[in-house]
């Protein structure tokens, strides 16, 4: 008697084959050695809160221990899960990706694999899975990450502006929820750009070192400098633009809607700069940069790392620009203090 015959039609107790050799399920099938062996599973990706595998001697495991929350960063694992799945399938293996319910975390990992291999949008990949497993439904934060994965052409890399902005928005959300930021991703000090990441500083800090030949390629790409001492402060790619004049009415909504902030952060891009901004907006908003002091605090001053003159302020919860638009998080330098 097969496992399916014991539990006919019970979605929670079955695994579904999404593409040949790639299976998806909740926790129950992953706890049945007989069922796993009957299907011929060789590799298992376990995306749960549990840190230990059920049958470590019988299958190759990849463990991703994360909660099913909108704030969870799953996209950073996509390169690993992709190689694990494609490596196993190339060797003729069969892979099970499972979480607790087989609805959100595991579906997100399988969606990402489908998107990259079949060049599908996140929505199409999900529809394909739902046809086989109707309860499939990643949380909103994971859907945002899948769409972002498509936008950055499956290249999960801090040198991709959209991905960097997503990380910064996630840092702001972490700051708000937990009062601290676990992994800080900071824009490189332009004076260090292109240098090897320094051994100094906390190990949890990763810096962005964009290719300096890209950043300083033309006059329009020159960094913002301190008006007083001319010290280079931040690369152009790390200047965050916004739509001017969103006004007071949108303020409360924007401030409280984290998802909207993430979306805003992903889609703001230097290429979309509005000419009105140069007259109405009195501040440059930038990504958090290595040289800014006391970044773990909720808010603080931004002072020139060379001459110490006060350039502006930062606030992880956001600030309102002179044009009326709220930017979250806000790292703002007054235009009167900076040469753009």
Tell me if residue 99 is catalytic. yes
DSSP type of residue 188: P
Residues that bind Zn ion (CB under 5 A): 226, 228-229, 231, 244, 281, 304, 306-307, 321, 323, 325
User: What three-state secondary structure class fits 331?
Assistant: strand
Beta-carbon count within 10 A of 244 CB: 19
What is d(CA 67, CA 105) in angstroms, rounded to the nearest whole number? 8
Is the Cβ of residue 147 or residue 303 nearer to Zn ion in the bound state? 303
Tell me which residue has tokens 């937990």.
178
Is the Cβ of residue 222 or residue 306 nearer to Zn ion in the bound state? 306
What is d(CA 329, CA 331) in angstroms, rounded to the nearest whole number? 7
Write down the least CB distance from residue 304 to Zn ion, Å.
3
Q: Which residue among the candidates 65, 99, 321, 323 is catalytic per the annotation?
A: 99
Is the Cβ of residue 46 or residue 246 nearer to Zn ion in the bound state? 246
What is d(CA 89, CA 85) in angstroms, rounded to the nearest whole number? 6
Main-chain phi, psi angles of 44, to 5 degrees? -135, 130
User: What three-state secondary structure class fits 154?
Assistant: coil
Is the Cβ of residue 154 or residue 251 nearer to Zn ion in the bound state? 251
* Helix ranges restricted to H, the chain: 3-6, 27-30, 33-39, 78-90, 105-118, 122-132, 140-151, 161-178, 212-215, 249-256, 258-267, 277-280
Bridge partners, 120 (sequence order):
none
Write down the least CB distance from residue 197 to Zn ion, Å.
24
Write down the least CB distance from residue 280 to Zn ion, Å.
6
The length of the chain, given as a count of residues = 340
Pairing of the two strands 224-226 and 338-339: antiparallel
Is the Cβ of residue 106 or residue 283 nearer to Zn ion in the bound state? 283
Q: Are 269 and 161 in contact (CB under 8 A)?
A: yes
What is d(CA 333, CA 317) in angstroms, rounded to the nearest whole number? 16
Is the Cβ of residue 206 or residue 303 nearer to Zn ion in the bound state? 303
Catalytic residues: 99
């Amino acid at each position: 008697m097969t496992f399916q015959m014991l539990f006919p039609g019970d979605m929670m107790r079955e695994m579904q084959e999404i593409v040949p050799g790639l299976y998806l399920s909740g926790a129950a099938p992953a706890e049945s050695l007989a069922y796993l062996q009957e299907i011929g599973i060789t590799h298992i990706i376990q995306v749960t809160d549990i840190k230990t595998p059920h049958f470590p001697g019988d299958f190759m495991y990849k463990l991703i221990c994360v909660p099913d929350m909108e704030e969870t960063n799953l996209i950073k694992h996509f390169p690993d899960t992709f190689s694990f799945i494609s490596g196993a399938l190339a060797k003729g293996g069969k892979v099970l990706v499972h979480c607790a319910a087989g609805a959100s975390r595991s579906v997100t990992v399988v969606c990402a694999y489908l998107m990259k291999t079949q060049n599908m949008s996140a929505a199409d990949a999900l529809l394909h899975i739902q046809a086989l497993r109707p309860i499939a439904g990643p949380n909103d934060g994971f859907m945002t990450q899948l769409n972002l994965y498509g936008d950055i052409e499956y290249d999960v890399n801090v040198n991709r502006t959209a991905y960097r902005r997503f990380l910064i928005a996630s840092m702001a959300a972490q700051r708000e929820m937990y009062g601290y930021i676990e992994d800080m991703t900071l824009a490189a000090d332009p004076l260090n750009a292109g240098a090897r990441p320094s051994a100094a500083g906390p190990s949890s800090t990763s810096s962005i070192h964009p290719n300096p030949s890209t950043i300083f390629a033309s006059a329009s790409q020159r960094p913002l400098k301190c008006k007083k001492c001319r010290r280079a402060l931040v690369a152009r790619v790390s200047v965050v633009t916004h739509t001017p004049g969103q006004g007071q009415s949108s303020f409360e909504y924007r401030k409280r809607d984290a998802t909207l902030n993430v979306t805003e952060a992903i889609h703001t891009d230097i290429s979309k700069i509005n000419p009105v901004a140069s007259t109405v907006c009195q501040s440059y908003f930038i990504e958090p940069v290595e040289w800014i002091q006391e970044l773990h605090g909720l808010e603080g001053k931004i002072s020139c790392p060379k001459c110490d003159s006060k350039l502006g302020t930062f606030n992880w919860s956001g600030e309102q620009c002179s044009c009326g638009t709220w930017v979250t998080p806000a790292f703002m330098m007054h235009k009167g203090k900076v040469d753009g």
